[in-house]
Chains A and B, each alone.
Chain A
Amino acid sequence: MTFKEKLAKNQFVYTAELFPPKGTDLSVLQSKAELLKSFIDCVNVTDNQRAVMRISGVAVSKTLIDMGIEPVFQLTARDRNRLALQSDLLGASVLGIKNVLLLAGDFPTLGDHKEAMPVYDVDTIQLITLANTLTKGTDIMGRKLKGAPNFFLGATANPNLDPTELQLIMMEKKIKAGANFFQTQVCFEPERLKPFIEMAKKYQVKILPSISIFRSFNQMESFKNFGIRIPDSYLKLMKDTKDPLQTSIEIIADLIKQLKPVVDGIHIIAINIEENIPKIFDLL
């Protein structure tokens, strides 16, 4: 069963995230993917995340498909104009990519090519519209395609931000543009997720909140710099523990148990410690 079919049948799903490497050596990524294979339904493949140049997500997604792993191909509005976006989406489809997560993309000045042109020819709403248009058999100019892609389109929402209403306005627009599933920004506060879960229910789209495990207290605390709200109780647990990785796994397992009855799945982020993701499942 595919990711889309599982969600349609209300099967609870787990997704994780792997970063394409800077270079052509995919061996580490492949071994991590192999480890995750039996626990995870889908692996997100990021698109030059944090605006750091890496190998193409299309190539990495195809590599995962060949390994029998279903990818969520991430595509940002940052690096491509509307010609390239459509063209790459059609190419991705031909290589067997079905799930596409459409997002803004971090600004180039945050990355390792600080003078790179920020393209943003389309914004996220328009990007979702663009991908959705292709699935209906035309390009965005209304010209008929010879062979249309069959995508399951996803988008993001950030429950950490105030005013929450502004993110909800965006979520609703994204749904109207064609998003069928949401993977949220990392969120440690189930209360803040509530209105997003309600919005997903209202429109019958799927929602997968993101959670993250950490190798250290410092790594957890550093997420605050990205605007992620972390309860003091979690920070204290991480500070006091002798085994921070295990503690963060326990925190996350507890969160997953709380969220499981009300969401459609969980997206797991484990920056550079992806091989530890299976340990979460020991506690579920």
Chain B
Amino acid sequence: MIVTKQKPIEDILKALQNEKGIFVVGCADCATSCSTGGEKEVQAMAETLQKKGHKITGTFVIDVPCDERMDKIFFRKFQKELSQSTAILVLACGAGINAIAKNTDLKVYSGLDSLFVGTTERLGNFNEYCSLCGDCILNETEAICPVTRCPKGFVNGPCGGAINGMCEVHTDKQCLWVSIYEKNNKAPVFSKMIPYRKNRKLNQPQTIRKAK
């Protein structure tokens, strides 16, 4: 899922300062799992804004805001409330916020920062394990991603910086290459020369269209 965190409330208030009516939107999917944009957080945000003197025109948690079809249903359903709004504050990831903005002329604001694609270890504990690089080498590395989990993103093996097996950058984490080695000291990556990588930024923004 997409792991998000709330922006500092001062930043949100500053962004919204000239708005006359605000509709607060959440996400029932990832942002709910992160406790950043679920029902509870949307209500809390609405209350905070109200206390600061803002007019709240409505609140709603969209099932999956990054699904543009669902956003269109939302806009139809809340036509009346939105007509009294000047802005929508979205507590969802950047994809969800872009999708909502695409379907309205109202000013759309982001209440969250999107951090990474993560796993949930347990509630509130998330790990970044994939960078969506588009050039997956997990088959060479015992399904442990060095592109993401080695800060330098090295794909041929470790740098020389680890201290007692711990990463020089994130000293509380084991060097990713030690993890791969401990899992299988004959992992394919150790005997192969992994060539230069594709650069995903060259393809941004990516779109996929169904083949006809």
Contact = CB atoms under 8 A, between A and B. Distances in A.
Contacts of B159: 104, 124
Interface in B137-159: 151-159
Interface in A128-183: 129, 140, 156-158, 161-163, 165-167, 169-170, 173, 176-177
Contacts of B188: none
Given A120-B154, A124-B156, A165-B181, A82 B196 contact: yes
A110 interface: yes
B196 A122 contact: yes
Interface size class of A (residues with CB under 8 A): 35 or more
Interface in A11-59: none
B154 A227 contact: no
A241 interface: no
Contact of B157 (A78, A107, A122, A173): A173
A125 B192 CA distance: 11
A107 B154 contact: no
Interface stretch (B54-62, B65-73, B100-108, B163-171): B163-171
B156 A120 contact: no
A284 B146 CA distance: 45
A125 B195 CA distance: 9
B203 interface: no
Contacts of A126: 156, 194-196
Contacts of A107: 151-152, 161, 168-169
Nearest to B159: A104
Contact of A161 (B155, B160, B197): B160
A221 interface: no
A176 B151 CA distance: 25
B136 interface: no
User: What is the predominant secondary structure among interface residues of chain B facing chain A?
Assistant: loop
Given A165-B181, A173-B193, A226 B169 contact: no
A96 interface: no
Contacts of B162: 161, 227
A101 B147 CA distance: 24
B161 A106 contact: yes
B181 A163 contact: yes
Nearest to A228: B163
Contacts of A226: 163
B190 interface: yes
A218 interface: no
A106 B178 CA distance: 18
Interface string A211-253: 0000000000000011100000000000000000000000000
A170 B152 CA distance: 15
B198 to A, nearest CB: 11
Contacts of B160: 103-104, 156-158, 161, 167, 170, 185
Contacts of B181: 163, 165-166
A278 interface: no
Interface string B169-212: 10000000110010001000010011111010000000000000
B165 to A, nearest CB: 6
Contacts of A122: 196
A109 B169 contact: yes
B72 to A, nearest CB: 38
B168 A166 contact: no
Contact of A118 (B151, B156, B199): B151
Contact of B158 (A77, A82, A170): A170
A176 B194 CA distance: 12
Nearest to A161: B162
B51 to A, nearest CB: 34
Contacts of A78: 152
A56 to B, nearest CB: 22
A125 B197 CA distance: 12
Contacts of A158: 160-161
Q: Lowest 9 A-B CB distances belong to which pairs?
A: A158-B160, A227-B163, A104-B159, A125-B156, A123-B154, A107-B169, A170-B157, A120-B152, A169-B190
17 contacts: A103-B160, A106-B168, A107-B161, A107-B168, A118-B152, A122-B196, A125-B193, A156-B160, A158-B160, A161-B165, A162-B164, A162-B165, A165-B181, A166-B158, A166-B178, A226-B163, A227-B162
Interface of A: 77-78, 82, 103-104, 106-107, 109-110, 118, 120-126, 129, 140, 156-158, 161-163, 165-167, 169-170, 173, 176-177, 185, 225-227
